[in-house]
Amino acid sequence: MTAVRLSILQRLTLWNSSVLALTLIAFAGAGWFTFQRVVQQRASAVVRESARAVAGAILAERRAAAARGDVEEVRGAYEQAVLRELRVGDLDIFITDESEDLMAVRQPRPEERPAIVVPPEVRNLMTAVRSDRVAGRLSDSTVVVRSLSLSGEPARAAVLRVEPDAGDEEKEPALLITALRMERDDLLLLRQVRNTIFFAIPMALVVSLVAGFLLARRSLAPLEAIVMRTASITAADLDERLPVVNPHDELGRLARIINELLGRVGDAFRTQRQFVADASHELRTPLAIIRGEADLALRRDSRPEIEYRDALAVVQGEAVRLSRIVDDLFLLARVDAGASALSRQPVPLDQLMADAMRSVRSLADTQQVAVVAYDIGDAVVHGDPVLLHRLLLNLLDNALKHSPVGGTVTLSLATDDARAMAHLQIRDEGPGVPEEQRARVFERFVHGVQSAPSRNSNGAGLGLAIAQAVAMAHGGRIRVLDHAPGATFDVALPLSPSAGVSA
């Protein structure tokens, strides 16, 4: 089954709508239950307070009649007078005495109920309240509120027992006052609120979906511009840069970082292109010489043996030069691959220096240059011994090329314990390197500076570049120090953390 891949715009829109949907559903659910509870509590309060109001009015009427000396001729006359005067809204008020005889009833819609009939459900509620009162489970002032179902319609009733005044127990029996209220209006209100919620939530989600999509598209418009501009940048126009609308927000920082990356890529691309051009130039010369000698030797059917030997000697020399250039290029490729291509192990620098000095001994004797070492301390670095040996050979070879006859090449080794670095210095007595040209001596295919001519300048110009690349691959670097006369190359390499070091 293929997974559905959504864009950032679609995901932001869906996330916004989903969060809003959950929020609205939770809010609507909480609001619905709260509103329903409030309506129910209000209905209970209405019937409860109505029952108390009727009870208070009846007691007040009885006291007033007793004070006037009036005698009730018709049973329930006081109660009927109270019900006529009170405004109890849409409630039905039933008043009975202890013998369960109906004394008074108020029906707000007499056309619907022409006969005064106490519903069985109300009579059962009165009986239950009377039983609880006799059993002592209810006090005289307690109002009992219950939910009822009358003919399939919900209702709410409140029952209150009213004791007669002291001294009148035989004249006036205890009364049960029941306030009954139908809940059809409350149900209609709840139904309207529920329908409103069910209609409002989908509408809010639709509006949120559209608004979220428009807002997300507007917010991601700079990102889309970055994508389109980045897609249009090719190797031919790496100098192009992305527009930075707001450098302080996330997209502005992204555009700035991409611009910095484009700058580094452009520099690397130009360096690589120059490297390829220089390598092609260096390889073209020996190949042209080899081809010319071969064409010259094959131009005539027969030549003296000495001419063939001379031509083969030239071809051999240029082949050796080609092999050296190719080996240097492979070595640079290996170093440029990074630390993963290196073979790491502890390397004592004093032993490495001794091996390098032995390797150039014959070359130094041929050029009549002395190679000496002094102040050699113990220092161990963690690196590739083959590459580090090549680094020293290249620096010694460069020093021998620029040293005069009878000169001296000096090596020294010291440690900087505070920075955990080993410093290996190679000094010659040649013309030195001018300060303005020191940065270029480590560039690839640079054969030397004009103020420092070499009596042996047939190399490819990769020796110092390889040395610097090896040093940087090991976490160090090479600098040209300002020590006249001659040139001094300082190789700084990090010491091995697991080996002891002493200066």
The predicted structure's pLDDT at residue 123: 80
Helix axes 305-336, 385-402, angle to 10 degrees: 130
Give residue 493's pLDDT band: very low, low, confident or very high (50, 70, 90): very high
Residue range 207-222, pLDDT digits in tens: 888 888 888 788 777 7
- The average confidence (pLDDT) of the chain is 78
Share of residues in the chain with pLDDT > 70 (%): 80
**Minimum mean pLDDT among 75-79, 250-254, 460-464, 480-484: which range?**
75-79
CA 88, CA 36: separation in Å to the nearest integer?
A: 23
Pick from 46-50, 108-112, 220-224, 480-484 the range whose average pLDDT is largest: 46-50
The predicted structure's pLDDT at residue 491: 92
**Minimum mean pLDDT among 1-10, 151-160, 233-242: which range?**
1-10
> Torsion angle of alpha carbons 74, 52, 66, 76, nearest 10°?
0
> Span 220-241, mean pLDDT?
76
The predicted structure's pLDDT at residue 169: 46
**Minimum mean pLDDT among 18-22, 202-206, 264-268: which range?**
264-268
Q: What is the pTM of this model?
A: 0.50
Degrees, nearest 5: CA angle 156-159-165: 155
Half-sphere exposure of 405 (CA within 13 A, CB side): 3
CA 496, CA 147: separation in Å to the nearest integer?
A: 87
Residue range 424-477, pLDDT digits in tens: 999 988 888 877 777 777 777 666 544 344 444 555 667 788 888 888 888 899
Residue range 94-106, pLDDT digits in tens: 888 766 666 666 6
379 vs 299: which has the higher pLDDT: 379
Residues contacting residue 367 through CB under 8 Å, at least 6 positions apart: 400, 403, 405, 456
CA 87, CA 186: separation in Å to the nearest integer?
A: 20
Pick from 68-77, 286-295, 451-460, 487-496 the range whose average pLDDT is largest: 487-496
Which residues face 348 on adjacent strands? Answer: 380
CB atoms within 10 A of CB 410: 18
pLDDT at 13 over 50: yes
The predicted structure's pLDDT at residue 481: 84
Pairs from 288-292 (Cβ < 8 Å, separation ≥ 24): 289/314, 289/318, 290/314, 290/315, 290/318, 290/319, 290/322
Closest CA to 95 of 57, 60, 69: 57
**Minimum mean pLDDT among 100-109, 175-184, 277-286, 288-297: which range?**
100-109
Share of residues in the chain with pLDDT > 90 (%): 5
The predicted structure's pLDDT at residue 452: 40
Environment class of residue 401 by beta-carbon count within 10 Å: exposed (0-12), middle (13-18) or buried (19+)? buried
Residue range 54-83, pLDDT digits in tens: 888 888 877 777 777 766 555 566 677 677
Closest CA to 176 of 110, 91, 99, 113: 99
